[in-house]
Structure 1
Amino acid sequence: MHDTIWKTVENLARRFDDHDERRGLAPQEQWTMQVLKIAEETGEASQAVIGARGTNPRKGESHDWSDVHAEVADVVITGLVALYRMRPDDAAEYLHRQLADKAGKFLPTVPTDSEEPSGAP
């Protein structure tokens, strides 16, 4: 599955690169627009949450949680494409390292079979 996801991300990134190159955008301009696309998708996810919660009195319950799920997936996909466009040679490995770094900061360490639990005699 990992390879299929990254192959699809690569294909999307190349399509967007080709489109932007035809428009005369330099790589950093392309990356800027892709990051702005993440912000746009995040706004759509926020709008879906507001609609699912019914907190806008003018619109009421305009969305449901399946809409939120789809919009969050769009944020993730757009983020993966942005990362690949900026780091085509190592996007998957870079993401793996970043995920491990974040996990190390937020998840408690779990002793391996060869380690004694902390506080053990």
Structure 2
Amino acid sequence: MNRVWKTVTALADRFDEADTARGMPPEESHVLQVLKIGEEFGEAAQAVIGVKGTNPRKGTSHSWEDVHAEVADVVITGMVALARMRPDAAEYFADQLKAKAANFLPRTTA
């Protein structure tokens, strides 16, 4: 397991421990973690709106750097969600990435 997935797994374990201490069943934790992805996506969308200045009440309120940070939050939250739901998250993600990429990237004959 690489360094990124070790960190993601450590975060997942910490959140699982906190939810267990609160008496929350794993399925409920998983549902809430998936909803957290939606929350983070909303913040990324809000940052794009802020870059474009399309909210007349707020005007230009964000930078592209803000968008980048919010998109990173979406990715991290998604990775943590997967790690909370699957002990084999790193391998599962790698397999899913390979399968999805095969739909879009040219096949090579090596």
Coarse TM-score class (shorter-chain normalised)? over 0.9
Structure 2 counterpart of 1:57: 56
Structure 2 counterpart of 1:19: 18
Measure how far apart 1:108 and its partner are.
1.8
Measure how far apart 1:55 and its partner are.
1.0
Task: Please say if 1:70 is aligned against 2:49.
Answer: no
Q: TM-score, normalised by structure 2?
A: 0.96
Structure 2 counterpart of 1:109: 107
State the alpha-carbon separation in 2 of the partners of residues 32 and 23 from structure 1: 15
Structure 1 counterpart of 2:28: 29
Q: Which entry has the higher C-alpha Rg, 1 or 2?
A: 1
Structure 2 counterpart of 1:44: 43
Amino acid at match of 1:37: K
Structure 2 counterpart of 1:116: none
Structure 1 counterpart of 2:98: 100
Contiguous gaps of at least 5 residues in structure 1: 113-121
Contiguous gaps of at least 5 residues in structure 2: none
- Larger RCO, structure (CA 8 Å, separation 6 or more): 2
Deviations 1:73-119 (A, max 9, x none): 0000000000000002x11100000001100111121232xxxxxxx
Amino acid at match of 1:48: A
State the alpha-carbon separation in 2 of the partners of residues 80 and 29 from structure 1: 17
State the alpha-carbon separation in 1 of the partners of residues 35 and 13 from structure 2: 18
Q: TM-score, normalised by structure 1?
A: 0.87
Counting matched residue pairs gives 110
Determine what percentage of the aligned residue pairs are the same residue: 65
Taking the TM superposition and a 5 Å limit, the aligned residue runs for 1:73-92 are 73-88=72-87, 90-92=88-90
Give the secondary structure class of the aligned counterpart of 1:106: coil
